[in-house]
Amino acid sequence: MTPAPAPPYALTGARIFSDNRVWLDDHAVVVADGRIAAITANAALGDALPRRQIAGLLVPGFVDVQLNGGGGVLFNDTPTWEGIAAIGAAHRCYGTTGFLPTLITDTPARMRAALAAVHEAVHRRVPGLLGVHLEGPFLNAARKGIHDPALIRPITDDDIRLIGDFARSLPAGFATLVTLAPECVPLDSIERLAEAGVVLSAGHTAADAATVARARAGGLTGFTHLFNAMPPLAGREPGPVGAALTDPESCCGIIVDLHHVSPVSLKAAIRAHGSARMMLVTDAMPTVGSSGNTFTLAGRTITRADGRLTAQDGTLAGSDLDMASAVRNTVAHLDVSLPETLRMASLYPAVFLRLDKEIGGIAPGRRANLVALDENLAVTATWIDGEGIDHADASSSWSQ
């Protein structure tokens, strides 16, 4: 049976970051049946409408397109709907109300298991789930990062059919993202994936600018963790970084944990490319939302120390970053205003996933995916499809 629609209610008391890029005081967000029904002046609210008084700021829910794990769970090791739910719950405490569980390079069998898990999680309506991100295995082994080089491989027709069929099978409001190295994947394969509706991003790549341009023409639209696992920009070899920053339509994910990339380089990239095509990502691992300081990745022990996750040889292994921290770091270290930083955490990744009609802003008709922040930009409450949790007491929920 379809559940009965939830009665409408209003969120009042906070400054609202509305979709027209202004802060609204003395206004309320009216939520009905999981969506934003209206933004209205408090004085216009009817007395019969239940209200929840909140303090601080009310902003769009954060959208993370690259989420490997959280709460002690790694998606590669737990490719189940329960694993997806646990990862989402861990990151919700930090304002993530929409996410792509990310499978890094693994076996064909593990890829099939991950896609099946996402299908089951979609059916079970796991809160915040937006689809899946396959980061590999169609990468350049010379730019492997922490990925297992033994599992990096060429793409096959079976892969294209599997991923394409999966993307076409998802309901509206979900996305399939694949990170690949354009120099390692034939152009016709890129075109076939794009035609199936797959969102394509270049990563773990050493492609020259011309190769990137051909892939862009074939349907590639993004760059995964810009600067990381790709050669640096050079005078006569612009490579993927130069290609990304000179393409006004490309979307670039950036990891603002102050470890993956220097703040100076990130500021230079934002000034060159503009912030409207930059999206905050975490590349988070199981340590986020967990007290554990070690985990195993492809047989290698990964250790958390001083905010960094590294293998024994010093290779960075994802991040210990959450989206709320990424927002705070961007404001504090990258000279980006809070309103624009909030869009980098919500609207711009939603645009990249082609889901901005559904999520990424506070406007009538969009899903009621919201975050309440205090004066220190710490998360105090979240709403996913209208269902709220007070993170001052994560065991309690609030919906009307």
Per the CB < 8 A criterion, the answer to whether 312 and 300 are in contact is: yes
Query: How would DSSP label each residue in 358-380?
Result: TSSS--TTSB--EEEE-TTS-EE
End-to-end CA distance of the chain: 20
Strands 57-60 and 15-17: parallel
* Type of residue numbered 116: A
What gap in Å lies between CA 138 and CA 156, rounded to an integer? 10
For 181-272, list the strands marked E by DSSP.
199-202, 220-223, 251-255
Three-state DSSP class for residue 178: strand
CA–CA gap between residue 75 and residue 71 (Å, rounded): 11
Out of 283, 320, 322, 385, which one is annotated catalytic?
Answer: 283
Question: Is 283 one of the catalytic residues?
Answer: yes
Query: How far is 300 from 319, CA to CA, in rounded Å?
Result: 15
User: Residue 70's beta-bridge partner residues?
Assistant: 73
Q: Catalogue the active-site residues.
A: 283
